[in-house]
């Protein structure tokens, strides 16, 4: 059994890192606008912070979460090239289909990783586009899941499941949609979701022991949608 000093507890989440970097940029802007300190040259490199967050999210999710971090790295790199004058908008705009390809690969890899062709309750895959999808696991060795909702919603119910090796890892992607994960109230869930004009929340009553070993790590990406933990 893992202890409180396990790697999943020591490393800051990409969500926390993203928030800290946003605060840092805000401080630099405030120093510049108030005339306390000239930070214009530093702010030119602000887009690189998106690349840092994206790479951190890739490593933190053990490369299970692809689409969100890849989008952040791509957008941050393009923005940085524009800010430094190494490229023009007309030169970069032709590469926008790369983001579509990355999204498609994320879906395909998610299905491959979780064996969607041969249903296995130990790992779950759910993909909802312009509709809804529900999955329920009764596995005694639940390992993880890949959940994607695009203009729709998907739900994973884990109340009858038992976790094998902790923590189980769930990758959730919500684009103009929602992902709901239902877990027992006593489980300790760690959210490591990157929200861009969206949200990731744990709506359960705060009855779980904060010192309990992390049961599930939920990583992923949200844009104009939400990832919600309920019981």
Residue 6 clears pLDDT 70, i.e. is over it: no
Contact present, 230 and 204 (Cβ < 8 Å): yes
Domain that holds residue 226: 13-230
What b/e sequence results for 5-36 when a residue is b if at least 16 CB atoms lie within 10 Å of its CB, and e otherwise?
eeebeeeebbbebbeebeeeeeebeeebeeee
Host H or E run for residue 69: helix 67-84
Least confident of 13-17, 34-38, 227-231: 13-17
Q: Which of 123, 153, 117 is nearest to 139 (CA)?
A: 123
Helices vs. strands in the chain: H and E counts, helices first = 7, 10
Q: What is the reported pLDDT for 13?
A: 61
Give the chain's domain count.
1
Q: Looking at the domain assignment, is residue 67 inside a domain? A: yes
Q: Looking at the domain assignment, is residue 121 inside a domain? A: yes
Residue 118 clears pLDDT 50, i.e. is over it: no
Q: Looking at the domain assignment, is residue 226 inside a domain? A: yes
How far apart CA 89 and CA 69 sit, in angstroms, is: 22
How far apart CA 59 and CA 37 sit, in angstroms, is: 35
Mean pLDDT estimate for the chain = 77
Q: Looking at the domain assignment, is residue 95 inside a domain? A: yes
Q: What is the pLDDT of residues 16-31, one digit of tens each?
A: 677 788 888 899 899 9
Q: What is the reported pLDDT for 181?
A: 93
The residue assigned the tokens 């059994």 is 1
Q: What is the reported pLDDT for 113?
A: 46
Cβ-in-10-Å burial (0-12, 13-18, 19+) of 52 comes to middle
Q: Looking at the domain assignment, is residue 180 inside a domain? A: yes
Q: Looking at the domain assignment, is residue 206 inside a domain? A: yes
Residue 205 clears pLDDT 50, i.e. is over it: yes
What average pLDDT does the segment 21-50 reach? Answer: 88
Q: What is the pLDDT of residues 143-200, one digit of tens each?
A: 888 888 877 788 888 888 888 888 888 988 888 888 999 998 888 888 888 888 888 8
* Portion of the chain with pLDDT greater than 70, in percent: 75
Q: What is the pLDDT of residues 79-97, one digit of tens each?
A: 889 888 888 888 888 887 8
Q: Looking at the domain assignment, is residue 7 inside a domain? A: no
Q: What is the pTM of this model?
A: 0.58
Q: Looking at the domain assignment, is residue 1 inside a domain? A: no
Q: Which of 100, 104, 150, 142 is nearest to 120 (CA)?
A: 142
């Amino acid at each position: 059994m893992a202890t409180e000093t396990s790697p999943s507890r020591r490393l800051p989440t990409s969500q926390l890192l993203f928030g800290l970097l946003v605060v840092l940029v805000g401080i630099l802007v405030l120093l510049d606008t108030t005339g306390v300190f000239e930070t214009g040259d530093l702010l030119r490199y602000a887009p690189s912070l998106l690349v840092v967050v994206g790479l951190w999210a890739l490593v933190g999710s053990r490369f299970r979460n692809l689409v969100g971090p890849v989008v952040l790295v791509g957008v941050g790199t393009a923005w940085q090239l524009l800010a430094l004058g190494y490229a023009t908008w007309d030169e970069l705009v032709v590469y926008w289909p790369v983001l579509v390809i990355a999204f498609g690969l994320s879906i395909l890899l998610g299905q491959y990783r979780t064996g969607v062709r041969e249903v296995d309750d130990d790992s779950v895959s759910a993909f909802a586009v312009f509709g809804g999808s529900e999955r329920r696991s009764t596995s005694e060795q639940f390992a993880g899941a890949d959940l994607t909702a695009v203009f729709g919603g998907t739900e994973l119910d884990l109340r009858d499941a038992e976790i094998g090796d902790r923590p189980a890892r769930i990758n959730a992607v919500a684009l103009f949609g929602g992902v709901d994960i239902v877990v027992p109230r006593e489980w300790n869930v760690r959210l490591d979701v990157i929200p861009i004009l969206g949200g990731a929340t744990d709506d359960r009553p705060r009855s779980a022991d904060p010192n309990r070993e992390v049961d599930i790590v939920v990583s992923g990406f949200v844009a104009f949608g939400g990832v919600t933990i309920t019981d």
